[in-house]
Chains A and B, each alone.
Chain A
Amino acid sequence: GAVVSQHPSRVICKSGTSVKIECRSLDFQATTMFWYRQFPKQSLMLMATSNEGSKATYEQGVEKDKFLINHASLTLSTLTVTSAHPEDSSFYICRRDRGNEQFFGPGTRLTVL
């Protein structure tokens, strides 16, 4: 069964609004989670590394004030897309590891109108 869940699976919002995406580790406490973004026909690109109890580490070119990450507990990390614009429309996927195995969430499709 699934070990990483994401909610919502799909969201449509108006430009300028904020959207929160949750990533839950269902069977394992994860001190670190990873957030990826995937545009159509493109690969997954790492956005940030979420660390429980401390600030997230953002990749170059990813605005930390626009993509707010909160890793409030060992089983939950949230990504909030603030003041979303149509160019933020993408597929957002989280990941958490256990040992040397990686487990990805089912993804969240964000469409900004």
Chain B
Amino acid sequence: KQEVTQIPAALSVPEGENLVLNCSFTDSAIYNLQWFRQDPGKGLTSLLLIQSSQREQTSGRLNASLDKSSGRSTLYIAASQPGDSATYLCAVETSGSRLTFGEGTQLTVNP
């Protein structure tokens, strides 16, 4: 059974700091890994999707890496802003379009 773990559970940083969120998964037989953002009481917004054959993806200040063999991914956020405050979820897709989510990292960026 696939299990996804995210560390840390919560993170509070001052504005402008660079930060790294971690995600690990137990079964390396994945199609892709995706990072989502969830604002309080809202749905999910996809940030980055890394296919299993890829090593990283970048979008603006966000960079996500994937090491499938070790079952790890990181989300790097550069020059963090208060607007980045949200919960970040990592999910891996396996057969049957099944997404398994981690419990998320709650990020607070203080002005």
* B103 engages A43 (CB within 8 Å): yes
A32 within 8 A of B: yes
Interface positions, chain B 2-56, Cβ under 8 Å from A, are: 4, 32, 34, 36, 41-44, 46, 49
Given contacts A93-B44, A107-B42, contact A43 B99 (CB under 8 A): no
A22 within 8 A of B: no
Chain B interface helix/strand/loop/mixed? strand
The distance from the CB of B25 to the nearest CB of chain A, in whole angstroms, is 13
- Partner of B42 from the list A32, A42, A43, A106 (CB cut-off 8 Å) is A106
B89 within 8 A of A: yes
Residue of A nearest to B51 (CB): A100
* A42 engages B41 (CB within 8 Å): no
Q: Note all chain A residues with C-beta closer than 8 A to B103.
A: 41-43
* A44 engages B89 (CB within 8 Å): yes
A75 CA / B83 CA spacing, docked (Å): 33
* A102 engages B89 (CB within 8 Å): no
Q: Note all chain A residues with C-beta closer than 8 A to B36.
A: 104
Assuming A43-B89, A101-B49, A104-B44, what are 10 further A-B pairs, CB within 8 angstroms? A32-B97, A43-B101, A43-B103, A43-B104, A44-B89, A44-B91, A45-B101, A104-B36, A104-B43, A105-B43
